[in-house]
Structure 1
Amino acid sequence: MAIDVDKDDKVGCAYYIAMDETLVLEEDIPMGGIEAVDTLLLHVQPTSVIIPNRAPGDLIELLERDAHRFDDNEGSCSGQGAYVLRHIVSAQFDYEAGREALAKADQGPSRPDPIEVLALEEEPVQSIGSSVHNKLMRLSEKINLESCLSIGCAGAVLIDLERRRTTEGEGPSSEEEENGTFQFLVRSIEMNTSTDTMLVNGDSLISLQILQSELHPNPQTRSSNSSEPKAKEALSITGLLQALASSAQGKKRLRQILLRPSTNIGLIQERHRSIETLLHVDNGEVVRNMRRLLRKLKNTKTLLLHVRKGVDRIRGQLSIRVGDWKALLRFAMVSAQLKRSVHTLKGASGIEIFDRIRNEVDVNRFLHVGDIIIRTIDFQLSKESGYTEILSGASDFLDGLRREFADVCRLLPELKQSVVQEGPTEAAEFILHCTVMPPLGFLVAVSLDPNTGEGVYHGQHHPEGEWMMCFISDDMVFYKNQLMLDLDSQYGDLPSRIADEEIEVMMALSTAVLEHEGAILSASELFGELDSMLALALAADKYNWVAPTMTSSNVIDIVGGRHPLQELLVPSYIPNDTTIAGGEGTGRSKEARGLAPSMLILTGPNNSGKSVYMRQVALIVYLAHTGSYVPATRATIGVTDRILTRIATRETVVNDESAFLVDLKQAAFSMNFATRRSLLLIDEFGKGTTAESGSALFTAYLTYLLDLGVERPKVIGGTHFHEVFNNGLLRPGKDVAFAHMDVHLDPDAEDPDERITFLYHLLPGRGTSSLGVLCAATNDVPRDVIDRAEAVVALQDRNESLVEACSSLSEGDKQQLEEAELIARRFLELQVPNSGRGQGEGAMVREMLQGMLTLEEVGTPRL
């Protein structure tokens, strides 16, 4: 993954997916800054990141936060980071060089040859009608050539791929061990655009728990340099739904759907129809059968990658594992069964995913592939031997070689007798047997003499001379004599000829399978899409979610909404309603305006559920745009282009910014990027500074959003700055509504835990108190602190001066002050002798001082 940020905070990005052999470019993100980079890192989850040497400091700090740490002395990696970070020369991010490299790399699916990157000093000819110009014209149909930063990043990625291909033969690099697995070719180039995609930035993904990763529990996995993920998905929306997918393709597709929620109502409604069909009561058994079939599928891209690399002999065995061929055979069988299951679904006609499976999955083609594999691989013999074995009958020539070799092997006992007869009689007991070992050929096994380390007999006193020792194994020594050499010259090449013919057979099988590669991958993608819809349908059935109504109106109307994660962690969950509407834009009539407030302000006690409610609304809106059902009784969701949050403050030790500064940056990002179709969540903004400054900033923030008029976004905010409303700084109106979470108070209860009962039910109107002191009492704060806090709150309620109250003394303080005053007065009354320093006078003075400090009773000095 390559990232570049210019001086105006425009962000460019390109990354390579080794498994798909695809180069992906992101459109340049204007004013994206490090917030956009953080979001891209969450989306892509790279194993390696490259940036130019001229990268800004804040980008370097952000990337170094989660990068591998390297030991300066040994160059070893601590393994705690999620990716390897490398700085390269800025010239490799040049736009012109990147554009020409992309044109050269865009060879189409029929040209799988490795790309060649143009040197920076070359001057390509781009005259109209030239081959380079034609390639650029074709390239412009799939990517935006005006995204200069991203194209420069793509050029840097292509140069890095060329470097990896060059070093592939040297074994795994120190960065990654995947060089020996992938060929790093570019077979397709794609560009992700923001069209029809909801923007959910990195802060929102984390604070809403859409993504929530944690370090892998195995420390060895965390410290390795392999491409295995070093983190796993914790409790999150992604983790919740991915666990319901049955196949690797389905999990991958579901993640893509979740990270790119759509604003295309047609696409969303198509997914809703798919889920509705899968939830139909008459399709229950068919759906369960499809899930069972999908669990049998392995990642076909990995399987075909192994096939595409070809086969060779490694220590006498074929390098493609028999399990890969078995998985491909299973894919062919499962494809036929899945297509048959889709045909039996009721109500599936006219729904794109099911129609495509019925029309595009060529079962006969896949069964032909399976038939070729069955007629080539001997699975039973392979299971017994642990190696990939060629079935008898797959090749007549191979069968003939095997028969000839078998005939030779049957002669081995006779060969032993010939060797024994040629040697002395006493050597017969030491000549064990004759054997043939590829590639060593024919050998004589003789008992080992432990004293000499040689065979007991090895041709001593033989007319042909002593035998040539080849190797020692256990208690045997293997030799070659003239007979063995003669057999080698006549039959010795049989094992190598058999191995070569096996390779030819396997290459022919690989070629036959790869002829259908496109169809297999296409079907695999369709099955991944089907699996993702099955996962969403299972979630809807398991968690009681309903289909939302999508509308072009700028409204959010939720009845009985629930938090999809929180409700799994509590015995019972209290649902709540939400009704807000954003600005209507300049093209709408006045009659259509003002149907619902655009801003909902939540107040009330701490720990009463305000933050959960805010996240709940955002997650329902988010899930609706992924095409999923939502946790609610009923929901009407208007198209929302962005979900922006000021909720969680993410701090790290490498970030020298204060919590308040981080909050300000999140708020600024929300104000700069919000549109009338955006949803903003503002939770306790301004709490990181003084109450006066915080409340002023909070009021100004909300006022700015309200003053946008017909372009105002939808806002849900929570605060404890009651002075904002008590002083009339923000008054309720048609565009602003107030609500609070209901609580039941019992001030007479002795147990602090029984004084307040949270009901988690949203009520209209403003809460008058945050009940912070009571919440502190229920959380085991010491009683002295609680009493003092209650006293201060009482003074505030009576509008009394806190300065005077804090300057007044307690009874204990008064007593200590009186004692100190008496001691001081006694000291002033002491009559110290004026005589010299005679013997005993020092002791007398000390005794006087000691008596002065001793009080028999408070207020009664000892005389």
Structure 2
Amino acid sequence: MAIDVDKDGKVGCAYYVAMDETLVLEEDISMGGIEAVDTLLLHVQPTSVIIPNRAPGDLIEFLERDAHRFDDNEESVGEHGAYVLRHLVSAQFDYEAGKEALAKVDLGLSKPDPVEILSWEDEPAQSIGSAAHHKLMRLAESINLKSCRSVGCAGAVLNDLERRRAAEDPSSEEEEGISFLVRSIEMNTSADTLLVSADSLISLQILQSELHPNPQTRSSNSSEPKAKETLSITGLLQALASSAQGKRKLRQMLLRPTTNLALIKERHRSIEVLLRAENGEIAKNMRKLLRKLKNTKTLLLHVRKGVDRVRGQLSIRVGDWKALLRFAMVSAQLQQATHALKGASAVAIFSRICIEINIKRFLHIGDIIIRTIDFQLSKESGHTEILPGASEYLDGLRREFADVCHLLPQLKEYVVQEVPREAVEYIRHCTVMPQLGFLTAVTIDPTTGEGVYHGQNHPEGEWMMCFFSEDVAYYKNQLMLDLDSQYGDLPSRIADEEIEVVMALAAAVLEHEEAILSASELFGELDSLLAFALASEKYNWTAPTMTTSNLIDIVDGRHPLQELLVPSYIPNDCVMAGGRGTGSLEEDRMGTRDRKKTPSPSMLILTGPNNSGKSVYMRQVALIVYLAHTGCYVPASRATIGVTDRILTRIATRETVVNDESAFLVDLKQAAFSMNFATRRSLLLIDEFGKGTTAESGSALFAAYLTYFLDLGMERPKVLAGTHFHEVFENGLLQPGKDLAFAHMDVHLDPEAEDPEEQVTFLYRLLPGRGSSSLGILCAAANGVPSDVINRAKAIVALLDRNESLVEACSDLSEEDKQRLEQAELVARRFLAMQVPSSGHGQGGSGTIRDMLRAVLAPEEVGTLGT
């Protein structure tokens, strides 16, 4: 993955997917900055990141936090990040060099050539009429060449692929068969995409991963994921997908929610068909069939890799052929199951499966595999075996070899007849081996390390030793040489012919590669829709109504994750409407405009006690909007969702020990990002903004922050905010009106209850109006804070309610302290009035002084003040 950021914050990105052999370019993101880079890292999850030497310092610092560390000192050993970070010369990120590199990529559907970078002698791509120029013009149909930063990143990726290909050892066997070829070039654009920042993805628990518990797995260079999804939207839905293709497609749909209403409604229709009662058994059978599928891209990579001619062995595992055979059979069954679905004819995905999946083609693929590979014998022998009848020439060689094997006992008898009588007992047997041919085995003499007899005094001369194994030495005599010349190296010829047969089979399968990959993509999409349907059925989700009107109308909405963790969940409604603007591009394109003035507010401020469910409510609204844009059903009784272009949050503050920014500074950066990028179709979640500083400054910032969005008028976004700054409302800084509404979470109070936990009961029900108190002290008491602290807090709150000065109140003495002070003053006065005699050293003088001191200290005060 290559990333480049200019001084104005414009972000360019390109990355290579080895499994798909695809180069992907991201459209340049204006003023994206570090936030955009963070989101791209979450989406792509790269194993290697390259940046130019001229990269900004904040980008380098940000990327180094999660990068591999290769320091030599012992303290850093074992600190492995998510990716390897490398710096390249800035010239490799040049825009013109990137176009030249793209123009030289061979995207032919035949066997692809390695990526070649344009040399100085080649004709530049800018030359009008050149082959490179025509190729670049064709490429411009699928990618936006005006995204200069991303094009430069693509050039850097292609140069790096060329370096990797040149450094690859051709004799090495890589398990995944990665050859660093580019077979396709794609571009991801922000058009028709609901943008969700990296902070929002994590704050809303759309993504929530944890590192693998095994450090060796985390630090390995394998392609296996080093993290797994915990309780999150992605983890929840991916667990319901049946195949690798489905999980991958589902992740793509979740990380790139769309604003294309036609696509969203198409997915909703697909889910509706799968949820029909009459289709229940068919959908269940489809899931069972999809579980049998392996990743076809990996299988085809193994097939394309072919066989190892150097070692003369079949490198395609029999399991891969079995998986391809299963894919062919399952494809035919899935096509038939799709035909059986009621009401599927009007849905695009099902129509494509019925039309594009050619049952005869896939049955033919399965037939040629079945007629070539002997799966039972392969299982017993541990390597790929070819069935009789797959090749007449191979069958002839095998028959000839079988005849030779039958002759081996006779060959031994012939050799025995030719050797002296005393050497007969040392002739063990005759055999034939690949590359070595016919051999005679003789017992080894331990004293000499050679065969006891190896042709001594034989008319034909001594035998030639080839090798020895344990207590047996293998020799060639004249008879063995004659047999070699007559029959040749039969085992090697058989192995070579087996390789030819497997290569022919691989070529026959690869003729249908495009159809197999296309079917795999269709099944991945089908699997993802089945996962959506299963989640909708399992968790009681309903189909939302999508509209171009800029509103959110949710009835009985629920949090899709929180409701799984509690015995019962209280649903709540939400009605909001953003600014009407001057007519958005989306509405103009669809031919609809919302001219009707709506009374629904654009901003809803939540107050109420701690732990009452304000944050959960805000998150559930955002997640319902988000799920609706993925094409999935939503956790609500009914929902009407307007097209939303961004979901921005100021909720959770992500802090790490390597981040030198304070929590308040991080909050301010998130707030600034939302103000710079929010549009009237955006949804903003603001939870307790300003809590990281003093109450006066925090409340002032909070009021000014919300006022900024209210003052946008027709361009104001939809805002959900939660706060405990009640002084904002008491001082009239924010007044309810047609654009601003207050709400609070309901609680039941019982001040007479003895148990603090019973004094407040959270009802988790949203009510209109502002809550009067946050009940922080009651929450503290219910959570085990000592009673002394609680009583002191109550006293301070009472003083504040009476507008009394805390300084004066804290300087006042208690009644007990006043009594002790008065007693101490009385003792001091007595002591000062005491007459001490001038001759205090005489006989009995010390006793007199003690008596005087006892008189100063009244008897009732001795125990309290001491002596």
Fold shared, TM-score > 0.5 on shorter chain: yes
What is residue 329 of structure 1 aligned with on the other side? 325
**1:205 and 2:201 equivalent?**
yes
Does the 8 Å CA contact 1:61/1:654 hold for their aligned counterparts? no
Aligned mate of 1:530, from 526, 531, 548? 526
* Segment drifting more, 852-861 vs 366-375: 852-861
**What is aligned with 1:443?**
439
Contact 1:142 1:190 in 2 (8 A): yes
Q: How does 1:726-805 map to 2 (within 5 A)?
A: 726-805=730-809
For residues 495 and 76 of structure 1, do their structure 2 counterparts lie closer, same or farther at Cα, with a shift above 3 Å needed?
Answer: farther
In structure 2, the CA distance between the partners of 1:490 and 1:720, relative to structure 1 (3 Å rule), is: same
Number of the residue aligned with 2:590: none
Report the AA paired with residue 207 of structure 1: S
User: What amino acid does structure 2 have at the position aligned with 1:606?
Assistant: N
Contact 2:106/2:112 (CA < 8 Å) preserved in 1? Answer: no
Larger mean Cα displacement after TM superposition, 638-647 or 436-445? 436-445
Structure 2: which 5+ residue stretches go unaligned?
585-592
Q: Aligned partners of 1:662, 1:178: CA distance in 2, in Å?
A: 44
Shift of 1:549: 0.4
Q: Which amino acid aligns with 2:333?
A: Q
Q: Aligned residue for 1:256?
A: 252
Q: TM-score, normalised by structure 2?
A: 0.93
**Residue number in structure 1 paired with 2:588:** none
The residue number in structure 2 matching 1:372 is: 368
* Secondary structure of the corresponding residue to residue 13 of structure 2: strand
Distance 1:695 1:741 in 2: 21
Distance 1:229 1:823, change over 3 A: farther
How far apart are 1:484 and its partner, in Å? 2.9
Question: Are residues 704 and 447 of structure 1, via their aligned partners in 2, closer, same or farther at CA, if it must alter by over 3 Å?
Answer: same
103-112 vs 444-453, which moves further: 444-453
Matched, 1:625 2:629: yes
Q: CA deviation at 1:366?
A: 1.3
CA distance in 2, matches of 1:612, 1:569: 12
- Residue 19 (structure 1) aligns with: 19
1:347 counterpart residue number? 343
Q: Deviations over 1:567-592 (max 9, x none)?
A: 00111111000000000113599972
Relative to structure 1, the CA distance from residue 378 to residue 830 in structure 2 (aligned partners, 3 Å threshold; closer, same or farther) is farther
Partner of 2:272: 276
2:761 partner amino acid: T
Output the CA distance in 2 between the equivalents of 1:102 and 1:22. Answer: 13
Q: Does 1:302 align with 2:298?
A: yes
Cα distance change on mapping 1:418 and 1:179 into 2, 3 Å: closer
Aligned residues: CA RMSD: 3.0
- Listed one character per residue, the Cα deviations across residues 618-661 of structure 1 (whole Å, up to 9, x for unaligned) are 00000000000000000000111110000010011111000000
Is 1:697 aligned with 2:693?
no
Number of equivalences: 851
Contact 1:164 1:179 in 2 (8 A): no
* 2:691 is aligned with 1:687: yes
In structure 1, distance between residues paired with 2:340 and 2:57 = 59
CA offsets, 1:339-390, max 9 Å, x none?
1111110001111001111111111111111111111111121111110111
- Alpha-carbon distance change, 125 to 722 in structure 1, aligned in 2, over 3 angstroms: closer
* TM score, norm. by length of structure 1: 0.93
SS at structure 1 position matched to 2:104: helix
Instruction: Describe the SS at the equivalent of 1:329.
Output: helix
Q: Secondary structure at the match of 1:721?
A: coil
In the alignment, the residues of structure 1 paired with residue 345 and residue 594 of structure 2 have an alpha-carbon distance, to the nearest angstrom, of 42
Selected match of 1:665 from 664, 669, 694: 669
> CA separation in 1, counterparts of 2:730 and 2:601?
21
Contact 2:206 2:234 in 1 (8 A): yes
Residue 483 of structure 1 aligns to which amino acid in structure 2?
L
> Cα offset for 1:495?
1.7
Whether 1:312 aligns to 2:308 is yes
Deviates more, 1:483-492 or 1:343-352: 483-492
The equivalent residue for 1:143 is: 143
Determine the C-alpha separation between the residues in 2 that align with 1:551 and 1:538.
25
How far has the Cα of 1:437 moved from its partner? Answer: 2.1
Structure 1 pair 425/596, CA: closer, same or farther in 2 (3 Å)? same
**SS at structure 2 position matched to 1:411:** helix
Identical amino acids, percent of aligned pairs: 79
Q: Is the 8 A contact 2:580 2:595 kept in 1?
A: no
Cα offset for 1:799?
1.6
Cα pair distance change 1:587/1:307, threshold 3 Å: closer
- Is contact 2:581–2:680 with CA below 8 Å preserved after alignment? yes
- On the 8 A contact 2:743/2:768 being kept in 1, the answer is yes
* Residue deviations 1:232-272 (CA, integer Å, cap 9, x gap): 11111011001111111111111110011010111100000
Structure 2 CA distance for partners of 1:653 and 1:826, relative to 1, 3 Å:
farther
Contact between 2:580 and 2:594, CA under 8 Å: does it hold in 1? no
CA distance in 2, matches of 1:9, 1:658: 22
Pick from 430, 433, 443 the counterpart of residue 434 of structure 1: 430
Partner of 2:501: 505
The residue correspondences of 1:52-91 to structure 2 (distance < 5 A) are: 52-72=52-72, 78=78, 80-91=80-91
Unaligned runs of 5+ in 1: none
In 2, the alpha carbon distance for the partners of 1:751 and 1:460 equals 106
* Kept in 2: contact 1:109–1:188 (CA 8 A): no
Q: What are the superposed Cα offsets for residues 804-860 of structure 1, whole Å, 9 maximum, x if unpaired?
A: 12222345655776788789889989999999xx9xxxx99xx99x99999986477
1:500, distance to aligned residue in structure 2 (A):
1.5
Question: How many angstroms apart in 2 are the aligned matches of 1:158 and 1:309?
Answer: 21
Conserved? CA contact 2:176–2:298, under 8 Å: no
Contact 1:61 1:655 in 2 (8 A): no
Q: Displacement, 1:145?
A: 1.0
